[in-house]
Amino acid sequence: MSKNEHYTVSPEDNGARLDAFIRAAQHELSRSQAQKLIDERMVNVNGMLQSKNYKLKAGDIVSVTIPKPVSLDVVPEATSLDIVYEDADVIVVNKPKGMVVHPAAGNYSGTLVNALLYHCGDSLSGINGVARPGIVHRIDKDTSGLLMVAKNDYAHNFLAQQIKEHSFLREYEAVVYGTLKDDEGTINAPIGRHPVHRKKMAVTEKNSKNAVTHYRVIARYNGFTHIRVKLETGRTHQIRVHMAYIGHPVAGDELYGPAKVIQELQGQCLHARCLGFVHPVTKEWLQFETELPEYFTAFLSKINRG
């Protein structure tokens, strides 16, 4: 059943934007969720619909209808998870290469979300909808490594804010084609949808967002370089796009690498090795690291032998 809430605008909130006011009144909602309620005509001011940037006046009556949650129809599946950390608010999982994070067209089972639903039951945030419960950030199907999941809406909003403010630590290791000349560097180039290939992202000025990637060389091999990468922003395919942009695509990358793919890697040689964030409740800094997976170390051994 839908829930109706009514608020009287105080003198202190005079001039506040409608979406910001709702976000403050409904602590479990994000700003984007508040805007969505306005767009879906679930909010009125003094009985009239208003835009999200409407400036409120003291004494206005704001009415908000919170719709009934949609029943989740993604099926829980008893899949083994490599759990690095878990408490009542967050869970950190080491995702294997080849596992899709959440259900989508063509992948309705075998995903991380299916496994999380079995493991956590109802204890996952619902902010990202019925297909992505708990998912605050993603890594690609063929990227392995650490992923943080929220077990309630408060934790989700708190963690998402850290991502937005770039205070969330994400470090990766990768093997890229070619020999990087500099021992370290920064790639600052905006990323948006590829103008022709809709499944790809690209460095482009059109309809793009700023993207910053820092890298450091760990070792150089014949035709390849092993690097550590730190994300300042978190755009779709960011590391893969940026490394290809500077002429050093990630080894095994079928989308951004050379046409002749390294089949033994079964996707890009990219591992999310380190994750750090402030805990939503304790406010402690938590940081986790994982060992490189077998596919990665086996490839390093191969290229090291020449």
Which sequence positions are flagged as catalytic? Answer: 140
Q: According to the model, what pLDDT value does residue 131 have?
A: 62
Is the confidence at residue 26, as pLDDT, over 80? no
Specify whether 127 is located in the same domain as 243: no
Is the confidence at residue 201, as pLDDT, over 60? yes
Q: According to the model, what pLDDT value does residue 211 have?
A: 95
pLDDT above 90 covers a percentage of the chain that reads 65
Whether the CA torsion 156, 108, 263, 84 is positive or negative: it is positive
Specify whether 180 is located in the same domain as 302: yes
Specify whether 295 is located in the same domain as 170: yes
Structural domains in the chain (count): 3
Q: According to the model, what pLDDT value does residue 25 have?
A: 77
**pLDDT tens across 96-126, in order?**
999 988 877 566 788 898 989 889 887 888 7
Q: According to the model, what pLDDT value does residue 232 have?
A: 93
Specify whether 36 is located in the same domain as 84: no
Specify whether 196 is located in the same domain as 281: yes
Task: Give the pLDDT band (50/70/90) at residue 140.
Answer: very high
Average pLDDT over residues 9-18: 90
Q: According to the model, what pLDDT value does residue 28 have?
A: 60
Average pLDDT over residues 288-299: 97
Specify whether 146 is located in the same domain as 235: no
Give pTM, 2 decimals: 0.76
Task: Give the pLDDT band (50/70/90) at residue 73.
Answer: low
Specify whether 86 is located in the same domain as 40: no
Is the confidence at residue 74, as pLDDT, over 90? no
Q: What CATH number is given to the structural domain containing 40?
A: 3.10.290.10
H/E segment holding residue 8: strand 3-8
Specify whether 128 is located in the same domain as 161: yes
Q: According to the model, what pLDDT value does residue 31 have?
A: 73
Q: What CATH number is given to the structural domain containing 273?
A: 3.30.2350.10
Structure tokens at 104: 């989508």
Instruction: Decide which of 302 and 198 is more confident.
Output: 302
Identify the domain boundary among 12, 31, 66.
Answer: 66
Identify the domain boundary among 43, 66, 89.
Answer: 66
Task: Give the pLDDT band (50/70/90) at residue 161.
Answer: very high
Is the confidence at residue 284, as pLDDT, over 90? yes
Identify the domain boundary among 126, 148, 165.
Answer: 165
**pLDDT tens across 39-69, in order?**
989 999 999 999 999 999 999 999 998 776 5
Specify whether 14 is located in the same domain as 89: no
Specify whether 301 is located in the same domain as 190: yes
Cβ 231 vs Cβ 211: under 8 Å? no
Q: Return the minimum-mean-pLDDT range out of 18-32, 176-190, 196-210, 238-252.
A: 18-32
First to last CA, the chain: 65
Average pLDDT over residues 217-242: 96
Specify whether 195 is located in the same domain as 275: yes
113-to-76, 130, 217 alpha-carbon distances in Å = 8, 10, 34
Helix axes 31-39, 18-25, angle to 10 degrees: 120
Q: Centre a 10 Å sphere on the Cβ of residue 49 and count the other Cβ atoms it contains.
A: 11
What's the mean per-residue pLDDT of the chain? 90
Specify whether 60 is located in the same domain as 104: no
Average pLDDT over residues 247-259: 96
**pLDDT tens across 231-250, in order?**
999 899 999 999 999 999 99
Average pLDDT over residues 284-302: 97
Average pLDDT over residues 135-160: 93
3-state helix, strand, coil in the chain (%, to 5): 20, 30, 50
Domain, as residue range, for 242: 166-306
